[in-house]
Amino acid sequence: MRLFVAVDPPVVAMQELADAVAPLRELPGADRLRWTGVDGWHLTLAFLGEVAVTDLPRLEEVLADAAAVNGAHRLRLAGGGHFGDRVLWVGLEGETWALRRLADSVREGVARLGIEADERGFHPHLTLARAGSGHGHSRAVRRSAPGELLGMAAALEGFRGSEWEAAEVRLMRSTIGYGPARYEELRSWPLARWEAP
């Protein structure tokens, strides 16, 4: 199974972001991007790739342990950025240190199982669009022109969504093939709650 571990913003935060992203789709170069749909918006903590079904019980134990030692935290979707001329994203504000710690716990746990998470370091973001080949277009046609993603990211600079609570971690299955990837939640675990002293 092709798996990843994620935290998902609530419906209200997703709608706010969808409203902010809609005008970006009219900007120059937007037609050369593959826009992710709302159902594909996740804050990915670790992409695990192909994982054997037999490894699932141990993986679930690791994720339960990570959730038990990491507390719920407050976040908001805010601002925008890009990775070169390939990816447009929205960023996060709030207790991002807690999200980063959760991601580190997940990555360390799966590494102990011999499952390798993606090699890139964790950068809190939600991917909005990607350049590159897709839907029968050549890479040359689909690649973003320099500055197009920069302009789209700048258009998101003032975006600040409502604050929300990241309260659970989810194990997600990604199925790829014809058309966009499809996502299915396999299981979720609540993050810890500690009472103030």
Q: Per residue in 139-191, pLDDT tens?
A: 444 455 557 888 899 999 999 999 999 999 999 999 887 777 789 999 999 99
Whole-number Å distance between alpha carbons of 41 and 81:
16
CA neighbor of 129 nearest in space, from 40, 38, 36: 36
CA neighbor of 48 nearest in space, from 105, 96, 114: 114
Residue 168 CA: distances (Å) to CA of 37, 57, 80, 84, 139: 22, 18, 24, 31, 37
H helix intervals, the chain: 11-21, 56-69, 96-112, 139-142, 148-155
Q: Per residue in 31-54, pLDDT tens?
A: 889 899 898 899 999 999 899 999
Domains and CATH numbers, the chain: 2-190 (3.90.1140.10)
Name beta bridge partners: 78. 91, 160
Q: Per residue in 55-82, pLDDT tens?
A: 999 999 999 999 999 999 999 999 999 9
The DSSP H or E segment spanning 76 is strand 73-83
